[in-house]
Amino acid sequence: MILLQRRRTWLQEIGISFVCGGLAVLWMSSVSPTAVWLASTLERDYPPRPIAETPRADVGIVLGGALGGQAPPRIMPDMGGATDRIWLAAKLWHHGTVPRLLVVGGNLPWSPKAAPESEMIRDLLVQWGVPAAVIEIETASRNTWQNAQGALAAMRRSGDRSALLITSGTHMKRALATFRKAGLDVMPATAEVQVAGRSRFTVLDLVPNAGALNATTVALKEHLGLLVYRLLDRAE
């Protein structure tokens, strides 16, 4: 009986340690300093540039991951923060920085049946004044490596040699490494960033919040994705 009591106490201590450790990890992941630091390690090398300072290229490649599907009860695409990359693509075309746009991206395997995301992005670009005739779409790719393969095939058909890679700041590092590994001559055209308007640290920065947890999750996903791609020889 005494041994059973000691064993239960030992197991309880292990359980308490796991719970406390899990709560500590959750707290660290949910506070602004962690989110800002992780996102900055991805964004610092490729900051956004003014349209006028963005180099010209044969085509602008717009990556998917910006719009959610029109799954019921939605009657229109769901626009998140990554919609900035579509806006940037439209601005680059209107400025004459790129004469054509190539939109790559289908739907994830677990997504509800809907139009491929590249079709929805094309429709939005047209609404923002870009002629459909200068927009090419690729609808089969479902991840960054497949995006690169689809873009490579499209550029070989069109004869385009250089491209602006239009995506989010946190995704740019992995996207550039992947597209260049595939043999594409791409230059970064960063849309939205997570780390902006940094202010002085206050005690409120240590209060957990959902925004910081989401930013931490996105940054960790990109770091892990880049590591896996390098192990698979799919990124520089």
Contact 34, 28 (CB under 8 A): yes
pLDDT the model gives residue 83: 87
Q: How far apart are CA 47 and CA 216, in angstroms?
A: 19
Contact 37, 163 (CB under 8 A): no
What does the pLDDT profile of the chain (236 residues) look like in tens digits? 444 455 557 667 777 788 888 888 888 888 888 888 999 999 999 999 999 999 999 999 999 887 776 666 776 777 777 889 999 999 999 999 999 999 998 775 555 556 788 998 999 999 999 999 999 999 989 899 999 999 999 999 999 999 999 999 999 999 999 999 999 999 999 998 887 766 677 887 888 888 888 889 999 999 999 999 999 999 99
pLDDT the model gives residue 124: 93
Amino acid present at 192: E
Q: What is residue 165's three-state secondary structure?
A: strand
The strand ranges marked E within 12-154 are 59-63, 67-68, 78-79, 101-104, 135-138
pLDDT the model gives residue 3: 47
Q: How far apart are CA 117 and CA 77, in angstroms?
A: 9
Question: Which long-range CB contacts under 8 A does 118-126 form with residues at least 24 apart?
Answer: 118/64, 120/67, 120/69, 120/70, 120/77, 121/62, 121/64, 121/66, 121/67, 121/86, 124/67, 124/77, 124/83, 124/86, 125/62, 125/86, 125/89, 125/90, 125/93, 125/101
Q: Can you give the residue ranges of every domain in the chain?
A: 48-196+222-231
pTM for the structure as a whole: 0.87
Look at the domain 48-196+222-231 and name its fold. Rossmann fold (3.40.50)
